[in-house]
Chains A and B, each alone.
Chain A
Amino acid sequence: MVVKHSTANYNLQNRRNALETRIFPELSDDRGDQGSPHQRQLQAGITLAHRYSIQEVIGVGGMGSVYRARDMHFPNVTKLVAVKEMINTAPDPLVRETIVQNFEREANMLATLHHTSIPRIYDYFTLDSRSYLVLEFVHGKDMEAIINEAGGFLSEAQVLSWAIDLCEVLDYLHKHKPDPIIFRDMKPSNVMINHNGSVMLVDFGIAKTFQSGIKGTMIGTEGYSPPEQYRGEATPSADIYALGATIHHALTRRDPRLEPPFSFVERPIRRINSAVSAEMEAVVNTALEYSPESRFRSAADMKQALMAVARKTGALVNIGPHTGSRVVNSGVKPLWSFKCEDEIRGTPTFFEGALLIGSYDNNLYSLNAADGKFQWKYPTDGGIVSRPALFEGNVFIGSEDKRLHVVSARSGKVVWTYYTNGPIRSSPRIAEGHIFIGSDDQFLHAINLNTGRMAWKFETADFVRSTPFVMNDLVYTGCETGDYYAVDFRGELKWRFRAKRAITSSTVATPQTLYFSSMDGTLYALDPRNGWVIWRFRLGKASISTPCIMDEMVFVGAADGFIYAVETKSSKEVWRFRTEHQVNGSPVIYKDSLYCGSVDGNLYCLEYRTGRLRWKFGTEAAITGTPLAYNDIVYVGSTDHQIYALLA
Chain B
Amino acid sequence: MDKFFRRLFGNKQSSDKAQDVINTAPLTEQQIQTIVNNQNPRFDLQQLVSSCGQSVGKQRELNEDSLLALTTTMAGNSGNLPFGLYIVADGMGGHQFGEIASNAAIRTVAGYVLRKFHPYLFHVKTDTMDESFQEIMQAAVSEAQRAIQREAPGSGTTLTAALVLGQQITIAHVGDSRAYFVYPDGRIEPITRDHSLVKRLEELGHITPEEAANYPHRNVLYRALGQGEILDPDIFTLGFPQPGFLMLCSDGLWGVVAEQDLVRSVVDAPNLQRACQNLITAANTAGGPDNISVVLVQLIG
Contacts and interface: CB of A to CB of B under 8 A. Distances in A.
Nearest to B158: A215
Nearest to A524: B132
Interface residues of A, number: 67
Q: Is the interface of A mostly helix, strand, loop or mixed?
A: loop
B168 A89 contact: no
A569 B236 contact: yes
A24 interface: no
A328 interface: no
Q: Which of A215, A255, A260, A533 has the most CB of B within 10 A?
A: A215
A458 interface: no
Interface stretch (A119-127, A205-213, A296-304, A597-605): A205-213
Given A98-B95, A212-B217, A498-B127, A90 B168 contact: no
B238 A214 contact: no
Contacts of A498: 127-128
A335 interface: no
Interface string B68-93: 00000000001001000000001111
Interface range on chain B: under 10, 10 to 19, 20 to 34, or 35 or more?
Answer: 35 or more
A535 B230 contact: no
B228 interface: yes
A51 interface: no
A549 B81 CA distance: 27
Contact of B232 (A3, A61, A531, A534): A3
B88 to A, nearest CB: 14
A215 B98 contact: yes
Contact of B97 (A92, A189, A212, A260): A92
B236 A7 contact: no
Interface stretch (A216-224, A370-378, A446-454): A216-224
Nearest to A1: B135
A38 B91 CA distance: 26
B211 interface: no
Contact of A92 (B100, B129, B138, B203): B100
B167 interface: yes
B179 interface: no
Q: Which of A10, A92, A217, A571 has the most CB of B within 10 A?
A: A217
B268 interface: no
30 contacts: A7-B230, A10-B230, A36-B150, A37-B150, A61-B229, A62-B149, A62-B229, A90-B152, A92-B100, A95-B100, A95-B154, A95-B155, A99-B153, A189-B229, A209-B96, A209-B154, A214-B92, A214-B93, A215-B93, A217-B154, A217-B155, A222-B227, A257-B232, A260-B200, A498-B127, A511-B239, A533-B132, A533-B133, A535-B134, A569-B236
Interface of A: 1-3, 6-7, 10, 33, 36-37, 61-63, 88-92, 94-95, 98-99, 102, 189, 209, 211-218, 221-222, 227, 230-232, 255, 257-258, 260-262, 290, 494-498, 511-513, 525, 527, 529-536, 567, 569-571
Interface of B: 78, 81, 90-98, 100, 127-129, 131-135, 138, 146, 149-156, 165-168, 170, 197, 200-201, 203-204, 206, 216-217, 219-224, 227-230, 232-239
Given A216-B220, A230-B220, 13 more contacts: A90-B152, A95-B155, A209-B96, A209-B154, A211-B95, A215-B219, A230-B222, A257-B232, A258-B230, A261-B222, A525-B237, A569-B236, A571-B235
